[in-house]
Chains A and B, each alone.
Chain A
Amino acid sequence: MTTAILEERKDQIHRTGQGDIDIACNRESLAGAVSQRACVFCGSRVVLYPIADALHLVHGPIGCAVYTWDIRGALSSGPELHRMSFSTDLQEVDVIFGGEKKLEAALDELIDRHSPKAAFVYSTCIVGIIGDDLEAVCRQMSAKKGIPVLPVMSEGFKGSKREGYMAACKAMFKLVGTEDISDVSPISVNILGDFNLAGEIWIIREYFRRMGVEVVANITGDGRVRDVGRSHGAALNLVQCSGATLDLAKMMEEKYGKSYIRVSYLGIEDMADSLYQVADFFKDIDPDIVKRTEDLVKEELSKLMPEVARYRKDLEGKKVAMYVGGSFKAFSLLKAFRHLGMKVVMVGSQTGTKEDYAELERISDPGTILVDDANPLELSAFIKEKDVDLFVGGVKERPIAYKLGVGFCDHNHERKEALEGFEGMLNFAREVHSSVMSPVWSFVPRRANKINTIEKGAGNE
């Protein structure tokens, strides 16, 4: 099959070094696209569901609840209520006569049985169409049960995941400011935009503990309702991940005057830089914090670097293509791959913004393909054109990479290893090494010759 790229898609693809970048992004996917994107509801659900002591009720037909049932390994150190799947399972009769009564009954029963600290009620496409008054039902149940019952206005058709992040932030913001903050330390932060996949937030929290910084709220990995309620007490918000929780930080800035910085815990520079930024913020009230942070980074690096060097030896010069959700992650990954001696030749994103792509253009090597909202044929064509050794993506991309005989690293929902922090960098190196260097690719017809020739060549040197 030819790699037909629709005329309409051409301005969503850019090759670095070929004129000024003006990538078209943040626009609706073409109808008929085999798009890798998801919907508003998906965005809201993945952001909120790690709040483990809240009830998460999906108001809609059964599918919306099933497909988001425990799909990310968002770990909790306590309650596991978030790993249950609750749905009003709307039926035809509800679509005709409205689902409010059913929703009320469901909340009534669930709140009594599970005594959650708060309830999030997610709206879905169909609820937006039939016009159930979610806000009224939630208000009423909240008054009846004495806990926050929060509507999440996440009708799927209202956009992509990005709009879902916004709906989630709006819902969470209603919790902020509901708890006492008199015992919060002046040297304190909230961790925003981390979902504790594979326990990553625990690694980051440990760094802050060593630095002497109190973490008030995890938003939302291993999250708790009460913590979100007192998160306005923290002196600084640390926002990771492109879009997911940035809106919440902005809302807190506006209402509570709390500043925020954008951070990344992926890769060596970005991790260290994030910690230094925090130290810098608090150095006036705690001058020693800078030294403590430097010591921490030094100690971690001295453990890490010799280990990474071992993997780098094999990975030097290998080529990487990546397709991520938010492109913010791509910045960190690009740098992380440089530490492994690897060359990033393609970067794609589901929800990148103009600024994101401009930054990518700036930091990537000439000739790198930048693409917004790609489809499998395009991805497959780029992988072959650039002859990549590793593809970084999510669940739908994995088998495509494998079919092409290319290694894969899941940097998305389904990562099984913690990839954040300094120790995460080592896990990352190991994971990349395990896939790129796997003997399986030498059995794949398309790549077998090339791999065998290279190995032979290396042996002769």
Chain B
Amino acid sequence: MLLRHTPTEVTERKALMINPAKTCQPIGAMYAALGIHGCLPHSHGSQGCCSYHRSTLTRHYKEPVPAATSSFTEGASVFGGQANLLQAIENIFTVYEPEVIAVHTTCLSETIGDDLKQIAHKAERDGKIPEGKYVIGAPTPSYVGSHVTGFSNMVKSMAQLATPGTPKNGKVNIIPGWVEPSDMKEIKRLASMMDIKITLFPDTSGVLDAPLTGEYKMFPEGGVTIKELKDAGGATGTLALGEWCSADAARWLDSKCKVPCTVLDMPFGLTATDRFVDVLRTVAGVSVPDSIANERGQLVDLISDMHQYFYGKKVAIFGDPDQLISMCEFLRSIDMIPVHVITGTPGKAFEKRIKEITADMPGEVNVKAKGDIFQLHQWIKNEPVDLLIGNTYGKYVARDEDIPFLRWGFPILDRQGHQYFPTAGYKGGLRLLESILNLLLDRKDRDDPEETFELVL
């Protein structure tokens, strides 16, 4: 009982988080920045922040994650970090030779009032940014929002590279949100099946799923290029996948570059993928090929084959708002019951959406934004579930309460596959179904008494 210190009785808490279901902004900015080709993320703060984010991303992807730091000291925290950042920019371009440095702030540099824009301008004036290279920046105060906010802020900074007045180029911008490299690849595959030219940003495929070649490359092949980002202002439209992750960037492109945006749910599960495909088709003015209809049919087919095993199964789920919204909708599509839903990220709109999605459920959903895993665990103790879905931190609860556990979200520190196998799109839906079924049926096979233990399921 690793969480033996979690009591069943739920009491009002005001002042603290216990076993958090979120982390701070900068790591989101770092992940997003890795989706730019040739980009070195830079953490403007103390050394520890950078080290922690790199370690966490490394544990999740099992890939080298380079990022630099301003290495704040007591002096910098009193007199401002401008000198550190200027020196950093110079050193980075000299030693590591990236195309772009994507700077994000930390609680420390935000509070002492460092102004990234002004520092970047000074670097440019002082000739510290070589010709054809870029420094972009995003404010990511750790005491506001969550890692999702930081991701969104960096994606917005990427969008701001777009030049207003760029001639129309017939491409569609897709902002995928915080999904795995495999999901980004899947989104690109769906677009190419429809013969639509897209700019996907950020794009961590080819960066955090790189092959082993015997050489260490600080900057792997993948990532959206600066040229593509600049051209994003000439796109026909933008699809922002996820209100929390992607909408800000898309709205900026809409208002500044007149690229009309549609904010959609992330394409996890059947119906959210339907909407994604439909909007993409409409924006690009193409029709959906049979090959995609076929994939959809396969997903529906598997649901029909196994629907009796999903029926009425209760689920507790935690993670990030955009992912949870689509996943809860999918769980309802397959007749499962998400009874407890928690995100660590703030936002009352999240609770409202989840309540809408689960309105037809027997009994009311327990949902909380700005919640934590401690609370989720208490809810589970009071109303047990058949399945837990969440990031690796759920394993304590799963073990203590003996619940089948689907690892889905960020970070996953103890299993593999998320880099390579998508859960987005129809194909991704198949994988989700397979994973859920395996968990439920393995449990059934384990628990069924000998006389009802069956060969065929």
Contact = CB atoms under 8 A, between A and B. Distances in A.
Contacts of B45: 125, 156-157
Nearest to B141: A92
B92 interface: yes
Contacts of B3: 80, 84
A406 to B, nearest CB: 9
A62 B51 contact: no
B2, B55, B76, B95 — which one has the most chain A CB atoms within 10 A of its CB? B95
B421 interface: no
B144 A91 contact: yes
Contacts of B415: none
B342 interface: no
A85 B18 contact: yes
Interface string B68-93: 11111110110000011101111110
Contact of A157 (B17, B40, B74): B74
Contacts of B27: 63
Given A31-B71, A395-B55, A445-B213, A62 B22 contact: yes
Interface string A149-175: 000000011111000000000000000
Contact of A106 (B16, B48, B69, B146): B16
A29 B215 contact: no
B73 A157 contact: yes
A5 B90 CA distance: 14
B71 A85 contact: no
Interface in A55-69: 57, 60-69
Contacts of A95: 107, 111, 143
A400 interface: yes
B54 interface: yes
A42 B70 contact: no
A87 B215 CA distance: 41
B24 interface: yes
A395 B20 contact: no
A92 B144 contact: yes
B49 A156 contact: yes
Contacts of B16: 57, 86-89, 102, 105-106, 109-110
Interface stretch (B58-66, B263-271, B359-367): B58-66
B5 interface: yes
A447 B54 CA distance: 27
A396 interface: yes
Nearest to B27: A63
B58 A399 contact: yes
B157 interface: no
Contact of B17 (A36, A65, A156): A65
B134 interface: no
A94 B144 CA distance: 11
A66 B77 contact: no
Interface residues of B, number: 87
B143 A403 contact: no
Contact of A89 (B20, B50, B68): B20
Interface string A373-406: 0011100100000000000000110111011110
B323 to A, nearest CB: 18
Interface in B13-36: 13-20, 22-27
Interface residues of A, number: 84
B218 A129 contact: no
A39 B216 contact: no
Interface string A29-47: 1111111111111100000
Interface in A93-108: 94-95, 102-106
B127 interface: no
A458 to B, nearest CB: 22
A285 interface: no
Contact of B90 (A32, A65, A92, A126): A32
B407 interface: no
Nearest to B9: A113
B48 to A, nearest CB: 3
Given A6-B94, A87-B20, A105-B14, A62 B142 contact: yes
A158 B91 contact: no
Interface string A107-119: 0011001100000
A81 interface: yes
B84 A31 contact: yes
Given A129-B77, A157-B77, A376 B64 contact: yes
A73 interface: no
Given A32-B87, A36-B51, A80 B2 contact: yes
Nearest to A65: B20
A451 B26 CA distance: 42
A28 interface: yes
A177 interface: no
A71 B331 CA distance: 32
Contacts of B340: none
A130 interface: yes
Contacts of B65: 396
Contacts of B344: 62
B311 interface: no
Given A67-B56, A84-B18, A376-B64, A125 B107 contact: yes
A83 interface: yes
Contacts of A114: 5
Interface in A386-434: 395-396, 398-400, 402-405
Given A42-B51, A91-B144, A125 B106 contact: yes
Given A33-B71, A91-B144, A61 B24 contact: yes
Nearest to B81: A31
A80 B23 contact: no
Contacts of A156: 45-49, 72, 108
A24 interface: no
Interface in B394-412: 396
Contact of A87 (B17, B94, B393): B17
Contacts of B1: 80
Interface string A316-351: 000000000000000000000000000000000000
Given A94-B143, A446-B214, A69 B71 contact: no
A38 B69 contact: no
B136 to A, nearest CB: 16
B48 A445 contact: no
A30 B46 CA distance: 12
B420 interface: no
Contacts of B374: 84
Contact of A446 (B97, B213, B218): B213
Given A62-B24, A156-B108, A404 B215 contact: yes
13 contacts: A30-B87, A32-B70, A32-B87, A34-B40, A37-B47, A42-B48, A79-B5, A87-B17, A105-B15, A129-B77, A400-B64, A403-B210, A446-B215
Closest 6 CB pairs of A and B: A446-B214, A39-B48, A63-B24, A32-B88, A32-B91, A67-B52
